[in-house]
Amino acid sequence: MLNVGGPCTSLARARACKGNDEEVSSSEEPGAGKLHAGICAGGARQRASLPRVPRKMKPVTLAVIGAGSRGRTYAAYARARPELAKVVAVAEPREAWRAFLVREHGIPASETTSHWRDLLDRPKCADAVVIATQDAMHVAPAVAAARKGYAILLEKPMAPDATGCRTIVSALDRNAVFAVCHVLRYTRHTRKIKELLETGMIGDVVNVQSLEPVGYWHQAHSFVRGNWRREDKASPMLLAKCCHDLDWIRYVVGSPCVSIQSFGSLKHFRAEQKPPGATDRCLDCLLDASCPYSARKIYLSRVAQGHLGWPVDVLTPEPNAATVLEALRRGPYGRCVYACDNDVVDNQVVNMLFENGTTASLTMTAFTEADHRQTRIFGTRGQLVSDGRSIRHFDFQTDCWEAIPAESSDSSILGGHGGGDYAIMEAFVDAVRHGDQGRVLSGPEVSLETHLMVFAAEISRRANRVVRMDEMLTQPEP
Ligand SMILES: NC(=O)c1ccc[n+]([C@@H]2O[C@H](COP(=O)([O-])OP(=O)(O)OC[C@H]3O[C@@H](n4cnc5c(N)ncnc54)[C@H](O)[C@@H]3O)[C@@H](O)[C@H]2O)c1
């Protein structure tokens, strides 16, 4: 392609008038956004450019319900910004995980419980609750917390079905802040894309094309061996992994979805794909060395390299070579990927039509390198191409490609999801402090709407037909 439009004029941006579609290289390790650094035992590190907080201001108090992987991530915000937030209570049945939070945050023994119900049965003990239990355990604590008048930060998905989502929304106290952890809305990268679109730099958005490259080992970890492997125990793959993507696309398009259509299947991680001679557990398997999905390869190689954070810390709260080996010997993460009880899809496509005429498509696939989400946004005056780290702009007037400078990355626990984990906590705590729902990027109605897009896509996939979103007003469940 020729660069016929002369040089790009923006001085603020690095110039890359390559006239082709090459990817802009990044210094970050591929998939680094998904390989979070280890849990920081001494608390997340302070940031240099944090806004000053008046001395006398009391921190917003938080009760954490579910102190697993996500619960401790959000709690780490309070370690990073003790002047803004404090974890004062925890409900968590697993002793070791509860003890971790108690230790990290100095939570008094009187404020710890094993079950969320015991915490929420008591008089209100904090300004807000962070609900980070598993997918199928969000509705009851959310409804109970709403009744007690807590502000609520609720992990996605709100619920595994539309009825559950609606139940939460109708129980909410409209005076209390509510946010769903659609962390991708809050990343520095998304902020940049929204800012660029709002300048009109690519004209009207006509189409959005998104790829969620889940990654072969991430699929094996979470969706074949792990917590999200079964629809009846967690939720459909699209809800578990891609409710973020549909929510993100809706946010970027800025218009409600009117029609949706989807195909998808569990193509590979099935018993009939098991190679002859493979055993049911990786540590015993003679084919282990030649299997890309080997648990030994996925976990022990990380431990050997000193990666003790996610996904290794999902296997055991205090990961080291011995505890991980033991978890692989006995636990679910040591199973052969062809001998699990999984049923969620490993590939899916979704097509969407929005009220403003914009169309969009999403591809979710296990069969990639685990990487950042990739997006192309096609407008009437140009296009934006994002690999989740960097953004490039092609301008139809100048026929020029420009590289938009990458936002700096952060490898601390709260740097997860491109900084979205930190930024959602920052927005939520700020909203609670000011009693202002407007300070979070999506309220209950929009979160319900984007969850309904997922349920509509699932109806489409199963029934092999296009689903209109207005059907979802009457259509209860996939
Ligand atoms: N926003 C995101 O990007 C994102 C990323 C990963 C996971 N998630 C979601 O976060 C949620 C939690 O995921 P996770 O990876 O932290 O799972 P997890 O299993 O590590 O944590 C869930 C915790 O809830 C605890 N729990 C179980 N019963 C309880 C009870 N009765 N009372 C209190 N706690 C109880 C469990 O013991 C566990 O520690 C899930 O819904 C998941 O889909 C969101």
Read off the pLDDT of residues 132-162 as tens digits, 9 standing for 90 and up.
Answer: 999 999 999 999 999 999 999 999 999 999 9
Largest Cα–Cα separation, the chain: 71
Query: What is the end-to-end Cα distance of the chain in Å, rounded?
Result: 46
Residue 27: pLDDT band (50, 70, 90) is very low
Domain ranges for the chain, please list them: 277-334
116 has pLDDT over 50:
yes
157 preceded by a cis bond (ω within 30 of 0): yes
Amino acid identity for residue 391 in this structure: I
Query: Ligand 1 centre and the CA of 157: distance in Å?
Result: 11
Contact 377, 205 (CB under 8 A): yes
Distance CA 70, CA 66 (A): 8
Query: Ligand 1 centre and the CA of 440: distance in Å?
Result: 22
478 has pLDDT over 60:
no
Residue 8: pLDDT band (50, 70, 90) is very low
Query: Ligand 1 centre and the CA of 67: distance in Å?
Result: 7
Residue 416: pLDDT band (50, 70, 90) is confident
Distances (CA, A) of 263 to 216, 403, 431, 456: 20, 34, 39, 12
Residue nearest to atom 3 of ligand 1 (CA): 183
Burial class of residue 233 (count of CB atoms within 10 Å of its CB; 0-12, 13-18, 19+): middle
Burial class of residue 301 (count of CB atoms within 10 Å of its CB; 0-12, 13-18, 19+): exposed
Q: What is the mean pLDDT of residues 118-140?
A: 97
What is the pLDDT, as a whole number, of residue 57?
83
Distances (CA, A) of 321 to 211, 302, 308, 313, 446: 35, 10, 9, 12, 44
Q: What is the mean pLDDT of residues 70-84?
A: 96
Query: Ligand 1 centre and the CA of 69: distance in Å?
Result: 7
Q: Is the CB of 309 under 6 A from ligand 1?
A: no
What is the pLDDT, as a whole number, of residue 413?
58
What is the pLDDT, as a whole number, of residue 44?
35
Q: Is the CB of 469 under 6 A from ligand 1?
A: no
- Looking at the chain, the whole-number percentage of residues with pLDDT higher than 70 is 85
In b/e form, how buried is each residue of 9-38, taking b as 16+ CB within 10 angstroms? eeeeeeebbbeeeeebeeeeebbbbbbbbb
Nearest to 452 by CA among 143, 139, 159: 159
406 has pLDDT over 80:
no
Rounded to 10°, the helix 444-463/162-171 angle is 170
Residue 409: pLDDT band (50, 70, 90) is low
Distance CA 215, CA 393 (A): 26
Q: What is the mean pLDDT of the chain?
A: 88
Query: Ligand 1 centre and the CA of 133: distance in Å?
Result: 4
Full-model pTM: 0.86
Burial class of residue 83 (count of CB atoms within 10 Å of its CB; 0-12, 13-18, 19+): middle
Q: Is the CB of 96 under 6 A from ligand 1?
A: no
Distance CA 103, CA 79 (A): 12
Nearest to 204 by CA among 316, 315, 357, 54: 357
Q: Who wins on pLDDT, 57 or 49?
A: 57
Edge to edge, the sheet with strand 60-65 lists 112-113, 85-91, 60-65, 128-131, 151-154, 178-180
Contact 30, 369 (CB under 8 A): yes
Q: Is the CB of 66 under 6 A from ligand 1?
A: yes
Nearest to 182 by CA among 386, 472, 450, 475: 450
Q: Which atom of ligand 1 is nearest to the CA of 182?
A: 1
Rounded CA Rg of the chain = 23
Q: Is the CB of 115 under 6 A from ligand 1?
A: yes
Distance CA 336, CA 283 (A): 9
Query: Ligand 1 centre and the CA of 23: distance in Å?
Result: 36
